[in-house]
Amino acid sequence: MKKLIVILIIMMFLAGYEPPLLSQTKNEADTEICETFKYALINSLREPIDKAIHEIYKDDENAPKNLMWAPYNTEILKIRQLHGVGGSYEIKMEISPYYRAHITYGEDIVVVSTDGTLISYEHLKTYPRVDFN
């Protein structure tokens, strides 16, 4: 009888035992993992976003030279799957180009694919330029 109880206890222990997972994500950033992925994705699309900003403001005579934008000030509005799981994705973002000490000059919608192709862009708003002379 004692052997049977010992065997049952051992079987219950082994049945409930799960080995530890060895492939845990290490986040070596100052943000939570979801925010880190967001910024990594946006940064990986820097080239087509820069191209869109250049195209949007190239004919604007009042636009400051060398407009910049910041990934931490960029909002991802929509991610659309194009070709099934693991395929291409289309990412729609709201960008706020700025100049000098982060003085916002405009608001734009930029759509890019994850392969780095600029799909479309739309200018939403231009803010008045501030000169400190």
- Express each pLDDT in 40-50 by its tens digit: 999 999 999 99
Query: Does 117 fall in a domain?
Result: yes
Q: How far apart are CA 2 and CA 9, in angstroms?
A: 11
Query: Does 20 fall in a domain?
Result: no
The range of the structural domain enclosing residue 110 comes to 33-84+98-133
- What mean pLDDT is predicted for residues 90-95? 95
Beta strands in the chain, from DSSP E residues, in sequence order: 75-81, 89-95, 98-99, 103-104, 106-113, 118-126
Name the domain count of the chain. 1
Per-residue tokens: 105: 């000059």
Query: Does 21 fall in a domain?
Result: no
Query: Does 11 fall in a domain?
Result: no
pLDDT at residue 65 in the model: 87
Query: Does 1 fall in a domain?
Result: no
Per-residue tokens: 93: 């973002």
More confident residue, 17 or 96: 96
Provide the whole-model pTM: 0.74
